[in-house]
A and B are shown apart, each in its own frame.
Chain A
Amino acid sequence: MPLARVAPSPDLIFQSSVHHAGHFGTDKKPSAMKDDEFGRSATMVFEKSLTAMVKGIRAHRGNESEYIQACITEIQKEVASKNMSTKSMAVLKLAYLTMLGYDMAWATFAVVEVMGTNRFATKRPGYLASSISFTDQTDVGLLTINLFKKDFGSQSQYESGTAINCLSNICSAEISRDIMTDLLSLLSSSRAYLRKKTVLCLYRIFLKDPPALRTCFPKLKDRLGDEDQGVLTATVNTFLELARKNARNYLSLVPQLYHILVNTQNNWLSIKLLKVFQLLSPLEPRLPAKLVEPLTNILNTTKAQSVEFEAIRCVVRSMPEGSAIVALAIEKLQTFLNSSDRNLRFLALDLYKEVVEKFKEKTSLKDLHDKVLTSIEEPDLTVRRVALQLLDRIVDPSNFQEAVQRLLEFSRKATLNDEFIGTILRMAARDRYALVEDFAWYLLILGEISRNMDSSYAATVAEQFVDICVRVPQVRPYAVTLALGLLDTPAEAERDSISVCTPMVAACAWLLGEYSGDLEKPSEAAFLSGAKVLLTSRSIQALDAATQTQCIWAASKLYLAVPEHAPSTVAQLHELLCSQLPSFVRSTHLDVSERARLALNIANFYKADAQSLQSAKGLVAEQLLPVKPDAQAQVPVSVDLDEPFFVIEEARPSFMPVRADPTDPYSLASTYKDDLGFASEPNRAEAPQSTAQGVPSSSMYYLGKSDERAAAEQAQEPSVPEVKDPLAQMRERLEAQRNAGAPKYQVMRDDVTAPGATPTPDAGQVPSSSSTATLPIPPEKELTDLQGRLWTVCHRGEHLAVYVCIRSPNLRKRQIRLELRCERLCAPELLVSDVALRFPSAAHVQEADASGRMLVVGSLQERSSKVKANLDSAPFLWPGVFDLRCELEYLVKSASWKPQRLFGELPRIGPQDGVAFYQTASDVIISPAVIAPIGTPSSQRIPTRDGFHRG
């Protein structure tokens, strides 16, 4: 007998309900008919099963929401029905709709009703719906407690099981407290099915109600001795999840767990146990020794690879370095790595990352190195990424070159090659190029990478290129020649799009300008060709503004740095600048135009005179050093920008225009005219000068000759016989250099810090980018403990913080108890001592004397102990929040400090022997909220002055 008939569409049902209500009613379910009168049974006609509703939703493709709204209206009626099976079906449908995203919070009471029915079939939808829809805020949740209690005692284990399942989903701390005893009795139920479910349910309850763990622990521990495998696995699983939260609490379980590990044959259980032991063994030093035997046993005997892998992982994580079992585990890991199964290879690589990190001795790394390099070639991206990460960790200077060569080869083959290049750059940059031995070679590699136009690492490559040249003076001659080579790409090559990427152009230009002194002697030709490339290359003007600016300035630096004995080069360079720069001056980019104008003016000023150019050397003489990224922040601020630089004098009336009204258009007009007259003067002076230079191409309207000249130069270019790839040339040169005995490279690994800055502790150290550096864990815990108990910070200053905790007021004694604590915030070399808190005069504090309440006598360590202060509550007997403005006074001492630098601007300073100061802080605000007892005191008692403020 179907629960309801399937109706094709809601419209049809409506019609039929109007016209054939009586007719339909006759073949209705008899049970429904018995209870209800005719009218109500007519509404029963709407009833349709879940399947029918789902089919209906599918039938209304496109306007599901309308159909669902109609269904919800039906359900609302059905939920009100007295027939429990109707109600149950309505709830089931609602549960389905909830999963589609419709709200069912309005039906929670009906859900509870359905949960309370006697038949399992009607009860189950209720449990399902409640576990889907109830939240901690659902107020009817508490009504379910008795239902759970009843069902726990049910004859059918499935009823109890469903109840337990539902409880695990909707449990809150309140429900847990009421139901715990019943649930615990189920732990010793005779049915394994229920024991298992209860154990798992308990975990969910502990998450919601942690104190319950304490009461349940002994009984839960007993379950570790359960003879049923399912219960045992569930218990171990529960303990594993609990141990992830805080493993230390479960050390007492070790004997039982060990016993199970030795005796079990169950793979899943073994894996879970091994995971528990991974968590426990760092906490108990004796445990690893005990585990050696069973782990060796598992490694040698188990057939299951998952267990074997977990055992290896356990060994890697918990065993000390150098033991026999570690060697065994690594051997097993090797076989994984060489296996044909791709999953095993991936896992082995992944685990090797941990091995390499933990065991520093590089056992069999040579093998690993080759293996990793082959796995990099795998088509699988996941494997490749892990392999690259691993490679990152295992390279050392001896095999770095080989690894980079291989990566480059792969990157040429692969379509997505950014990962390879990223790895190369990351490896090289680690610890300030610690891996790189031959910098000339590495620069060449960078040059090759930069040929790859669409790499997202282009900017990083350029950055490293410059950075290395700045840090390694010995490589500069090679680098400058390389930069020139990279820029001076032959015309054919440009067409083959093997020219370098834009950031690299900028980097090369900068190098060429900055280190022109390192160009090979005789360097005149190189100067000339460098400047020519920078200014005349066709592609330069198509690049972005920043790069063009770099090129222009690099060219003018070349001009400025020409050696004295080469007057002809000076003349040629001057000629080049004067002819090429005007086209940059006309650039649409303001930056480019401005920089070109500056360069042009410099060139015009010094002319082609090598002698006068000597005086310009100062412009570029100072060498640039690597600067620490935060150097700017370390510069002490000496100028307050908010303060006016000059005292603004009152304008004297004699200078004022006759009509000083600023809104008067006529007076404004007169000023404009003056300004214009003044500004036009230099223009007039400049104009003949520019024509006097006789460079017609500098005119904005001149079109002809500069093009001709450019064309002439282009015509010259092909006549150069060299069409060799500059990189190939540089490669040859590198070989030659190596044969001749490579130069010793010294890397300036230190950064320049700001002059006069206070040295930070890490200044001058190499910030290590490798993951071996561990940060100390800040001792936050105790503090958060404090804040949890309503401790609030009432003052946080440069040297210390004050915490206050306001205890409940003692109305009988008319007192408010405050508890106060200090915490030092400053560096340990500063001695903070004798901290006192001075309350406002109207607040009567019993413990305080004239100098206030002493919080710390003597020097303040990390944190002071609690200090009580009983505040007279009489002024506060009024509902509201009051602010108590107090003053804090303490002594700061330091043996090494000069007084005027640190405390120059603090309000109250009394030097003692030149090294100690009292410092006061007046922003300490304590806010006790006091609710007055019955009978409001008169308002006169609220002091509004003397430091009290009503909030």
Chain B
Amino acid sequence: MIKFILMVNKQGQTRLAQYYEFLSVRERVTLEGELIRKCLSRSESQCSFVEYRDYRVVYRRYASLYFIVGIDNDEDCNELAILEFIHTLVETLDKYFENVCELDI
């Protein structure tokens, strides 16, 4: 199951975060910090799945915005489906804002 969704810009600031399980504020900050650093440091030629703590993380970059989704590691989620989900999310945002950009979020 999806545990969290983050939207992060290229500077590493979290633009939007949604958690589906309880984490204290401090835990969230450290999680976001470490994860963002990990994702941003990866180049385009590397695959979009990262393992981080107990999560399997699927991320995708759209222009200057990273969409990061954390899933349970032990249940095997379909990573490709999550990528498609991210894309659907982006398309939805695009439809709503008409040509969405980072500032809309």
A interface vs B, CB < 8 Å?
99-101, 241, 244, 267-268, 271, 275, 304-306, 309-310, 313, 342-343, 345-347, 379-383
**Could you say which residues of chain A place their CB within 8 Å of the CB of B84?**
267-268, 304, 306
User: CB distance B47 to A309 under 8 Å?
Assistant: no
Residues of B within 8 Å of A309, CB to CB, are: 78, 80
Tell me the bound Cα distance from A345 to B49 in angstroms: 11
Give me 12 A-to-B residue pairs in the complex whose CB atoms sit less than 8 angstroms apart, sorted by A's number: A267-B81, A267-B84, A304-B84, A306-B80, A342-B46, A343-B48, A346-B47, A347-B79, A381-B46, A382-B47, A382-B49, A382-B50
Q: Known A-B contacts: A267-B81, A267-B84. Give 20 more (CB < 8 A).
A: A99-B25, A101-B24, A101-B25, A268-B81, A306-B84, A309-B78, A309-B80, A310-B78, A310-B81, A342-B46, A343-B47, A343-B79, A346-B47, A346-B49, A379-B43, A379-B45, A379-B46, A382-B46, A382-B49, A382-B50
Residue on A nearest B1 in the bound complex, by CB: A241
Q: Which residues of B contact A304 (CB under 8 A)?
A: 84
Q: Which listed residue, A306, A343, A379, touches B49 by the CB 8 Å rule?
A: A343
The 3 residue pairs across chains A and B that have the minimum distance between CB atoms:
A306-B80, A380-B46, A342-B47
Is B51's beta carbon under 8 Å from chain A? yes
A347 adjacent to B46 (CB under 8 Å):
no
| Residues 15 to 51 of chain B near chain A (Cβ within 8 Å) | 24-25, 42-43, 45-51
Interface contacts (Cβ under 8 Å), in number, total 56
Contact of A313 among B47, B48, B51, B76 (CB under 8 A): B76
Bound Cα distance A99, B19 (Å) = 11
Residues of B within 8 A of A310 (CB): 78, 81
Q: In the complex, what distance in Å separates the CA atom of A241 from the CA atom of B45? A: 34
C-alpha spacing A768/B1, complex, angstroms: 35
Bound form: Cα–Cα A346–B57 in Å: 14
Contact A343 B80 (CB under 8 A): yes
- Find the residue from B46, B48, B80, B84 having the highest chain A CB count within 10 A: B80
Write the B45-78 contact mask toward A (1 if CB under 8 angstroms, else 0): 1111111000000000000000000000001101
B residues in contact (CB < 8 Å) with A: 1, 24-25, 42-43, 45-51, 75-76, 78-81, 83-84
Bound together, the chains give a CA A382 to CA B42 distance in angstroms of 10
The B interface, classified by DSSP as helix, strand, loop or mixed, is loop
For A310, give the chain B residue with the smallest CB separation: B78
Which listed residue, B43, B47, B50, touches A345 by the CB 8 Å rule? B47
Contact residue among A100, A241, A305, A379 (Cβ-Cβ distance under 8 Å from B80): A305
Please name all residues of chain A whose beta carbon is closer than 8 Å to the beta carbon of B50 when the two chains form the complex: 382
Q: Which of A244, A306, A345, A382 contacts B78 (CB 8 A)?
A: A306
Distance from B3 Cβ to chain A, minimum over Cβ atoms (Å): 14
- A271 contacts across to B, CB distance below 8 A: 78, 81
Residues of A within 8 A of B46 (CB): 342, 379-383
Collect the chain A residues with CB atoms within 8 Å of residue B45's CB.
Answer: 342, 379-380
A99→B29 CA distance, assembly (Å): 12
Given contacts A101-B25, A241-B1, contact A380 B78 (CB under 8 A): no
State how many angstroms separate the Cβ of B27 from the closest Cβ of chain A.
11
**Distance in Å from the Cβ of B104 to the closest Cβ of chain A?**
16
How many Å from the CB of B82 to the closest CB on chain A? 9
Of all chain A residues, which has the CB nearest B22?
Answer: A135
- Whole-angstrom CA separation of A99 from B25 in the bound complex: 8
- A268 to B50 Cα, complex, angstroms: 22
* A304 to B83 CA separation, bound complex (whole angstroms): 12
Cα(A643)–Cα(B76), bound, Å: 58
Q: Measured between alpha carbons, how far is A101 from B24 in the docked complex, in Å? A: 8
Query: Closest B-chain residue to A135, C-beta based?
Result: B22
B76 contact set on A, CB distance < 8 A: 313
CB of A42, distance to nearest CB on chain B (Å): 35
Shortest distance from the beta carbon of A376 to any chain B beta carbon, whole Å: 14
* Cβ contact within 8 Å between A343 and B78: no
User: In the complex the two chains form, what is the Cα distance from A268 to B89 in whole Å?
Assistant: 14
Answer whether A347 and B80 are a contact pair too, CB < 8 Å, given A101-B25, A379-B45. Answer: yes
**Whole-angstrom distance between the alpha carbons of A271 and B25 in the complex?**
34
B79, closest chain A residue (CB): A347
Measured CA separation A790–B58 after assembly (Å):
45
Q: How close is A316's CB to chain B, nearest CB, in angstroms?
A: 11
Best-surrounded residue of B43, B45, B49 (most CB of chain A within 10 A):
B49
The distance from the CB of B81 to the nearest CB of chain A, in whole angstroms, is 4
In angstroms, Cα B70 to Cα A834, docked, is: 58
Q: How far is B84's CA from A305's CA once the two chains are assembled, in angstroms?
A: 10
What CA separation (Å) do A346 and B78 show in the bound complex?
13
**What is the distance, in angstroms, from A247's C-beta to the closest C-beta of chain B?**
13
Look across to chain B and name the residue whose beta carbon is closest to the beta carbon of A241: B1
- A306-B81 contact, Cβ under 8 Å, with A313-B76, A382-B50: yes
Q: What chain B residues lie within 8 Å of A267 (beta carbons)?
A: 81, 84
CA distance A267 to B25 in the complex (A): 36
Contacts of B81 in A (CB 8 A): 267-268, 271, 306, 310
Instruction: Find out whether the CB atom of B51 lies under 8 angstroms from the CB atom of A382.
Output: yes
> Across the two chains, which residue of chain A brings its CB closest to B17?
A99
How far is it, in angstroms, between the C-alpha of A313 and the C-alpha of B84 when the chains are bound?
18
CB nearest to A342 among chain B residues:
B47
Interchain CA distance A271-B1 in the complex, whole Å: 13
Most buried by A among B75, B81, B83: B81
Closest A residue to B85 by beta carbon equals A268
Give Cα A306–Cα B45 distance, bound, in whole angstroms.
20
Interchain CA distance A639-B14 in the complex, whole Å: 66
B81, closest chain A residue (CB): A306
Closest-by-CB residue of A relative to B74 is: A244
Contacts of A383 in B (CB 8 A): 46-47
Which B residues touch A382, using CB under 8 A?
46-47, 49-51
A310 vs B82: C-alpha distance in the bound complex, in angstroms? 12
CA distance A836 to B100 in the complex (A): 79
